[in-house]
Structure 1
Amino acid sequence: MLSKEKLAIHGGIPVRDAYLPYGTQWIDNEDINAVINVLNSDYLTTGPKIAEFEKEVANYTGAKYAVSFSNGTAALHGACFAAGIKEGDEVITTPMTFAASANCILYQGAKPIFADINPDNYNVSPKSIENLITKKTKAIIAVDFAGQPSDLDHILTIAQEHNLIVIEDAAHSLGATYKESKIGSRCDMTMFSFHPVKHITTGEGGMITTNDKEFRDRLIQFRNHGITRDRSRFKEEHGPWYYEMQLLGYNYRMTDFQAALGLSQLKKLDNFIKRRKEIASMYSKAFENIEQIRIPVNCKESQSSWHLYVIRLNQEKLTVNRKEIFEALVSENIGVNVHYIPVYYHPYYHEIGYKKGLCPNSEKLYEEIITLPLFPKMSEKDIFDVIKAVKKVISFYSND
């Protein structure tokens, strides 16, 4: 039962009348018409818009090639396959990510090894990666947390020294820059997600960018049942109708109308990111002098694309834990979230032998973070409502 004090927040008049989600897509008539045009064409599945979308993403990121997939998880799975990851291999990644970043390793029969995070920007720590490398290590999957690029130069140097492949999980960082270069062209392979809460959307969808033609060819074959129609690669020849399934692949293809939506959305990407940066700046300015909150840190060598705005609570300055702060914000109709539950906390990972205590920095961070709403369609009122609600709740539960 709530105390009278808590009723002032949980049962009182909330800051907002309507619920504000933490993220959502922004679809306009141009996007809708792009999809309708494809629906009225001869192609629904694999058509000309796929290749066009891939070319535009490659051009945007500065990569030589881009290969589309049905979703970001499928794209990561494809990258692990293309990298030659197999049973008996180990792949180092971070636990502060969505489960797919590690699941794609398991799909290939390999073992995820969890490296701890840098406590300043919450990305995987290169030092922690280096300490975990063994003779079984095949690759590193670096995740750009919340849109902030990982320490790529350091990670790539480690990989080169140990002959490892680097896959960048850039689901959060399309449009971000690292040392003035767009994310997507530095690592062996880079994955982007087009889920509705991401920077642009195709409904579901993903993309791998790479500068390596062999990786590109393996990705294309993998997403299409392991089939090739390249006559120069045939083992046999039966006639002009012939194709060969040469490996066990999957049906991970994007549709043509998804690609049309992606092309339309891509035109707006820079404006979307500009708005995300404006909102993040407004939050940081509003919260920078509140000692109960730690605001995100932007690294000097990179520019975040601000997929998420994650505040970290200073528990010593509060009378309650994160759960109560979270619930209080929800009662104000602010759609907060938590990114992420450490991957190895999930019951499935316990069942296969992982235990808590692997990554102390990650585990401490998990107990203290809350994600605030951040998406380009937010109005000025939406932004100020979030700021007002956070200040209201933090002030109420402050121990000062």
Structure 2
Amino acid sequence: MTEQELISAEVVEDWKHAGNKRTSFAIMQSSTMKAIVLTVIFLSSTLLYFYLEEDSYDYGETVEFDQQRVRTYAEELLTFGHPDWFGRMSGTIEEQATAEYIANLFEELGYQATLHTYEVPMHSVNSEPSLRVCTPGTIGAIGVAPCSPADAGQQITTFNHRIDYVIQGFSGESSFMFGDDVDVIHLGDGSDDSLWTAASGNIGYIVGGGAVSSNTDIMRLAIENDLASIIHVNKNYNCGKIEGNDCVPIFKGTRVAPILEANGGTMPSQMGFISMSKDAGEILESVVINGSGRIEMILDVTNDEELTVRVPCGTYYGKTDELLIAGGHHDTVYHAPGAVDDTSGVASVLELATIFSEYINKNGDPNKTLRFCTWGGEEEGLWGSTEYVKEMNQELAENLRLYVNLDMNHVDIDPERGNSVWFSTNHEDDYGHIKRLSEKYKN
């Protein structure tokens, strides 16, 4: 997922899990399973054609899709999530365990398994964050600091991590206490340069959906104007669809290269960056921005290191070097299980690998080489797949004939998001096959 894409299905799934509103697999009920059955049948038929000789347009019968098996794969993937936050964030032991499980499964299925590792820029959330606001009690009492333990009558609101706010991609750390009395400056939608200038040395508060929409641009402007930290509030996306009339907080990634350039070659390790829900943001506005309250914002995050991300692959070498690959990303956002984004896609990749393993055992070696891979580092910038392409560039340039990417293919039908499967090719013959297969399955 790129930072420009705010994917509704991921937000719905992760928000509802964080709020304990439903189980991780409520998303995989009847209507959704119909969609995934059609998707995997279509993709397996497409792969099966490429797998076979090309001198016939008789695509034969579809292979059997095992709905319970793919569900089991998804359930097993979810067990590797963080014990408290449920995600499989890139560079963590959770992501490592997931990649090793996938590589071992490929080997059990009879593929030649490889586990590629890459050291890439990555941020890590080291411990539970804290975000609170305080309305002082006995202001002006001799020797009593506002919002200190001795401040009688103070009112503290504690925001819930993962429900009211989430840390953003490549956020730095933050350690503002009530006693620091740091100002929070309302930046509007980010279009007024004078507001950015006025926020220097303080926390900037920006409303999403305006002129400055990407995390990369927000962080770049914060660096250029010497802000201490950033709070983004969602007031325009998915409002009233998930939790009452609220607009939920959204995790978005941040591109590293522009941030390094803006910050003189290093990451802004002391600049925290969070996203808040509409309701939580309005409480902060009332207490701190428009009132006499204070903010506490503690983020234990590291954003200036390299961590290991992993790409497990399973390959079955055919009679030719022509290569067919199916893949999806096994990492998730840090704060949610990612049952949709992209546990659903990886479970489907594993099902395809199982289907073709069974086919090979029954029918013999394929004409073309088959490979199934899953990618780490996707949520933070497509790191795993990018590094894999760099490493395998010569083989891919010479032999790759087809790549199928499965990302969030368990999404419920929604007219606003679409309900289609997209294929593209730069090979004239392949276009004909894709068109014929599309006609066969589109209804």
TM-score when normalising by structure 2: 0.26
Greater radius of gyration (CA): 2
Q: Point out the structure with the larger helix share.
A: 1
